[in-house]
Amino acid sequence: MPVHQVNGHVYQVIRLGHEFPILFKVFSLDIWGVDFTNSRWPTAKSNWPTTIKYLSLMSYLKLIAAISIITIGLGFNYLQMKTSLDFFGKTTATTNDNDGRHRIKIALLLDTSGSMEGLLEQTKSQLWNILNELSLTQKKGQAPVLEIALYEYGNPAKGNRTNQINQLSGFTTDMDYISERLFSLTTNGGEEYCGQIIQTSLNELEWGSEDGDLKLIYIAGNEPFTQGPVSYNLACINAKEKSITVNTIYCGNHQEGIDQYWKQGAMIGGGAYMNIDQDQHTVYIKTPYDDEINKLNSKLNETYVPYGNKGKEKQQSQIMQDSNASMYAECNAANRAVFKCSKQYSNAGWDLVDAYKKDKSILKKAKPVNSVFLNLTSEEMEAKIKGISLERENIQNKIQELDKKRRLYKKEHTAEINGNDLQNSMLRSIREQAEKKGFSKKE
pLDDT along the chain (443 residues), means of 10: 42 38 37 38 46 50 60 43 34 43 96 93 96 94 95 80 87 98 92 96 96 96 96 98 97 97 98 94 92 98 96 97 97 98 96 96 91 89 96 98 95 71 94 95 81
Which pLDDT score is estimated for 100? Answer: 78
Which pLDDT score is estimated for 155? Answer: 86
- In sequence order, the 6+-apart residues with CB closer than 8 A to the CB of 85 are 21, 22, 23, 91
By C-alpha distance, which of 85, 83, 41 is closest to 63?
41
- Locate the domains of the chain by residue range: 3-93, 103-283+419-441, 290-413
Which pLDDT score is estimated for 189? Answer: 80
Which pLDDT score is estimated for 160? Answer: 59
What CATH number matches the domain at 103-283+419-441, 3.30.43.10, 3.40.50.1370, 3.40.50.410, 3.40.50.300? Answer: 3.40.50.410
By C-alpha distance, which of 356, 380, 350, 354 is closest to 368?
350
CB 202 within 8 A of CB 242: yes
By C-alpha distance, which of 183, 184, 128, 132 is closest to 158?
184
* Rounded Cα–Cα distance for residues 108 and 152 (Å): 8
Per DSSP, the three-state class of 147 is strand
* Rounded Cα–Cα distance for residues 172 and 242 (Å): 20
Instruction: State the Rg of the chain over Cα.
Output: 26
- From residue 49, alpha-carbon distances to 30, 44, 66 in Å are 23, 13, 18
Which pLDDT score is estimated for 229? Answer: 94
Which pLDDT score is estimated for 23? Answer: 40
* Bridge-based pairing state of the strands 103-111 and 145-153: parallel
- Written as one letter, the residue type at 389 is S
- In sequence order, the 6+-apart residues with CB closer than 8 A to the CB of 229 are 6, 7, 163, 193, 195, 196
Which pLDDT score is estimated for 167? Answer: 95
* Rounded Cα–Cα distance for residues 113 and 126 (Å): 20
